[in-house]
Copies of this chain bind each other. A is one copy, B any other.
Amino acid sequence: MALVVQKYGGSSVADASRIKRVAQRIVATKKAGNDVVVIVSAMGDTTDELLELAQQVTPLPPGRELDMLLTAGERISMALLAMAIANLGHEARSFTGSQAGVITDSTHGKARIIDVTPGRIQGALEIGQIAIVAGFQGVSQDTKDITTLGRGGSDTTAVALAAALDADVCEIYTDVDGIFTADPRIVSAARQIPRISYEEAMEMAACGAKILHLRCVEYARRFDLPIHVRSSFSSREGTWVVSDPNTEGNEMEQPIISGVAHDRSEAKITVVGVPDKVGEAAAIFKTLAAAEVNIDMIVQNISAAATGRTDISFTLPSDDGAVAVTALKRIQEQIGFEKILFDDQIGKVSLVGAGMRSHPGVTAKFFGALADAGVNIEMISTSEIRISVIVGQEDVDPAVTAAHRAFDLDVDQVEAVVYGGTGR
């Protein structure tokens, strides 16, 4: 008998009929002989509706009260889901984050889990009940106040509870069949990835793939907990995120590239004419850190000998743009740079693949494909298993398509390889 943790997102429980369908899937898992713990998000647009109500009351809701408000959303969905399961003749009990033992720090709106003490969940499982747990929420260790975990919170709840319960698998249900080699809306030949490593899934999450949040994959890797990302609308196998995707009878050689991710949510700031002196770059990034701006890529040009000045470019979330520019303007005189350029018409395209480590030609092939597609590269950054480039926003689709094709990820090419054909 296995212990299966399942997580259903808001679109999977958007109305009564979807809740009933999810209940059937949960009961089927239980009937197959498993213990089942389910983490559920708020129904459909509930969170947005609650935020809208808060905005009607005050432009600046206190974090503690906003968390109290938002956690009503999962309370509704989890109670309804437990009812739907009861209606199918199985015993289910819903638990708030606090009741499930999700202990966090006191940072309202983006609390971090610091302990999980799932005694009540274990008690429910021991007497054969299905446990339904509110995602996204916890209780602060110090103040005993209700907290929310912020972006990707429900996925993180699921992985954290699965780890604390020593579950066999954490199934993350979404509205697609798993993680794809590229966004199928851009690359129609994109195919589902059957197995991927934690590291690659983390790089893809960090580079804009929206299926799994970085935070939840990090958590799973720490506890070596398998994640199975799959669709709540089908019974097909999805994508397994595991420590070593090539074990367990998978004898094909690992592909060099696992997927192509993209992200249109960043902007680029260039600080022009920074005096080329020790400590100037440090002063700039210290200022940005104090303003709580998250920096992604950084490029510093070689100083022009004639002027003794250099340009520093970096990327950041577009939403942080105004804050960053304001913070930089305040230190313009002190640093003595010439001007600030802001560009949010950019996109990031990233190749991710553990096979890169042993294939030095990847960068050349990638850049060649982009050149052939007429795409100009503005910035470059790399990790051991990733190459990212910043391009103009209109070049994102052609760049993703070209890279996907160049690394033999298109679905018919792969089939050709599997069936011994020549490809095209």
Known: A50-B76, A58-B83, A72-B79. 14 other contacts (CB 8 A): A19-B57, A53-B80, A57-B84, A57-B87, A58-B84, A58-B86, A62-B82, A65-B86, A65-B92, A68-B79, A69-B79, A72-B76, A99-B144, A120-B144
CA of A62 to CA of B87 in the docked complex: distance in angstroms?
A: 9
Question: Interface SS of chain A: helix, strand, loop or mixed?
Answer: helix
Q: Is there contact, CB below 8 Å, between A76 and B53?
A: yes
* Cβ-defined partner of A68 (8 Å) among B61, B62, B94: B94
**With contact pairs A64-B93, A86-B62, A87-B57 given, residues A80 and B69 touching in the complex (Cβ less than 8 Å):** yes
Nearest residue in B to A95 (C-beta to C-beta)? B68
A3 is an interface residue with CB less than 8 A from chain B: no
A341 is an interface residue with CB less than 8 A from chain B: no
**With contact pairs A66-B83, A86-B62 given, residues A20 and B94 touching in the complex (Cβ less than 8 Å):** no
- Tell me the count of chain A residues lying within 8 A, CB to CB, of chain B: 37
Nearest residue in B to A70 (C-beta to C-beta)? B79
List chain B residues, Cβ under 8 A from A53: 16, 76, 80
List chain B residues, Cβ under 8 A from A19: 57
Q: Mark A265-297, 1 if CB is under 8 A from B, else 0.
A: 000000000000000000000000000000000
Q: In the assembled complex, how far is the CB of residue A43 from the closest CB belonging to chain B, in whole angstroms?
A: 9
List chain B residues, Cβ under 8 A from A16: 53, 56-57
List chain B residues, Cβ under 8 A from A58: 83-84, 86-87
